Structures are given as C-alpha cells and as structure tokens.
C-alpha cells in the first residue's frame, strides 16, 4: 500500500516545511488538487503553485485536475507531474486527454465521482496507469467516507484484471487509518490522505497506520 499526501489540507503558511515533514514521515507521493470553481465549487491552486511544490518536493507529484475541459490545462502540469488525473465527467473526449498526457511522457489517470458508474471507464481502462475513485464528492476536504465506495473499488479491480490493464487504484476522500484495512481488502493500491494526515499531529504514525492497517478493520464512521 502507498500513501499520497494531499496538500489541500496542509498549513500553506509553512508549505515547504509540510512537504518535507510528510516526506520524512514516509509518504510515497504528493497529491495536488487543482480546482477551477466550475466543476467543483472551490478554487484551490494552479500551475505556479504546483511547480513550486515540485521544486520543494523530492517525491513524485500526482496532479488531480478537477476542472472543466481538462485538455486546456493538461499541458501546464506535464513538466512537473509523474501522473496527471482528469475527471471523466469533465470532457467529451477522454481518449484525447489520455493521448495528450501520454505524449508528454506522463502517466495518465481518470477519476470518477461517486455517482458515476465504474463501467463508464471500460473503453479507456487498458490505456490508463491509474484510476482515482472518489469516495466523497470532490471539492472540499474533511468529508465522511461513502461506504458504497468499497463495492465500487471491488468492481474496478475485477474490470482491471479482466482487461489486463496496468492501472493502479487510488482512493480519495475520507481516507483514514480506521478504514484503511477495508480499502486494502477491497483492492486499493494508493490511499490519498488529506485531513486525516495533516490534522493528526503525528504524520509518521498516521502514514504507518495507513500502510499497515489493523488485521481487523475499524468502523467506517468515527
């Protein structure tokens, strides 16, 4: 299991220190939420901050584009991203976006909202390196995990195996040590942690708990 630190919930007054702290604590990558105020209500940050994060970080950067018409912004994030993920709900031509990302030497990924059928991915699944399952509705940190996401992850794992895709399964939204065991059991490969990590007070302990959850998973709700 890998853990991606979602900096949307970090202390932006001490961004560089926060990045170095989660790196030292054992995070595997940095998750950058790009929000345009159209697909989701909030506006987060764009290319300049993403590039600054990349300069400060030693870990790979995964850029999650929660934006309408991602094909217009993809190129801005290619120079400093290992993975660029866009939402299937935001473009009329997912195949074009995948090709655009791949042509830039970056791994393409697609994300789905909780109410988008997993089967919507089938035409593009063989071309993807990552699928990001939203386990909350995107745009705001600190939401509660949607339990039905576990069945969606299991369905996705079956589809990936069935088509021979190399895609990893990332999960974003309400992820915490208490549900990490259930997510691992369902088939998740990467847990994206924001508020559960940055509000924990002990980054190393939280990351270790996410990577090696208890054998008996805890409850979904606090």
Which residues are designated catalytic? 33, 172
State yes or no: 6 annotated in a binding site: yes
Report how far apart, in Å, the C-alpha atoms of 65 and of each of 69, 84, 217, 219 are: 10, 7, 31, 31
State yes or no: 104 annotated in a binding site: no
Q: Which residues pair with 36 in a beta bridge?
A: 43
Count of beta carbons in the 10 Å neighbourhood of residue 219:
8
How far, in Å, CA of 144 to CA of 220, rounded?
A: 9
State yes or no: 105 annotated in a binding site: no
State yes or no: 31 annotated in a binding site: yes
How far, in Å, CA of 184 to CA of 8, rounded?
A: 23
State yes or no: 139 annotated in a binding site: yes
Torsion angle, alpha carbons of 35, 40, 43, 44, to 10: -40
Residue pair 59/23 in contact by the 8 Å Cβ criterion: yes
Count of beta carbons in the 10 Å neighbourhood of residue 66:
25
Angle between helix 47-56 and 15-25 (nearest 10): 50
State yes or no: 174 annotated in a binding site: yes
State yes or no: 64 annotated in a binding site: yes
State yes or no: 141 annotated in a binding site: yes
State yes or no: 194 annotated in a binding site: yes
Binding annotation: 6, 31, 33, 64, 139-142, 172-174, 194-195
Q: Which residues are annotated as a binding site for substrate?
A: 6, 64, 139-142, 172-174, 194-195
């Amino acid at each position: 299991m890998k853990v991606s630190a979602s900096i949307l919930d970090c202390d932006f007054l001490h961004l560089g220190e926060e990045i170095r702290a989660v790196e030292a604590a054992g995070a595997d990558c940095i998750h950058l939420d790009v929000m345009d105020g159209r697909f989701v209500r909030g506006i987060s940050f764009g290319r300049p901050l993403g590039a600054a994060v990349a300069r400060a970080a030693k870990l790979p950067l995964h850029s999650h584009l929660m934006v309408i018409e991602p094909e217009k912004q993809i190129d801005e994030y290619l120079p400093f991203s290992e993975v660029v993920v866009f939402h299937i709900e935001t473009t009329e031509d997912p195949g074009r976006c995948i090709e655009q990302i791949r042509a830039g030497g970056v791994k393409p990924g697609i994300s789905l909202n909780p109410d988008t059928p997993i089967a919507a991915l089938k035409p593009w699944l063989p071309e993807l390196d990552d699928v990001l399952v939203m386990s909350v509705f995107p745009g705001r940190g600190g939401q509660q995990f949607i339990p039905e996401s576990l069945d969606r992850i299991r369905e996705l794992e079956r589809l990936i195996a069935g088509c021979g895709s190399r895609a990893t399964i990332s999960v974003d939204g309400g992820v915490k040590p208490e549900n990490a065991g259930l997510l691992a059991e369902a088939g998740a490969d990467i847990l994206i942690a924001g508020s559960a990590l940055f509000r924990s007070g002990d980054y190393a302990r939280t990351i270790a708990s996410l990577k090696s959850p208890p054998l008996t998973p805890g409850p979904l709700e606090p």
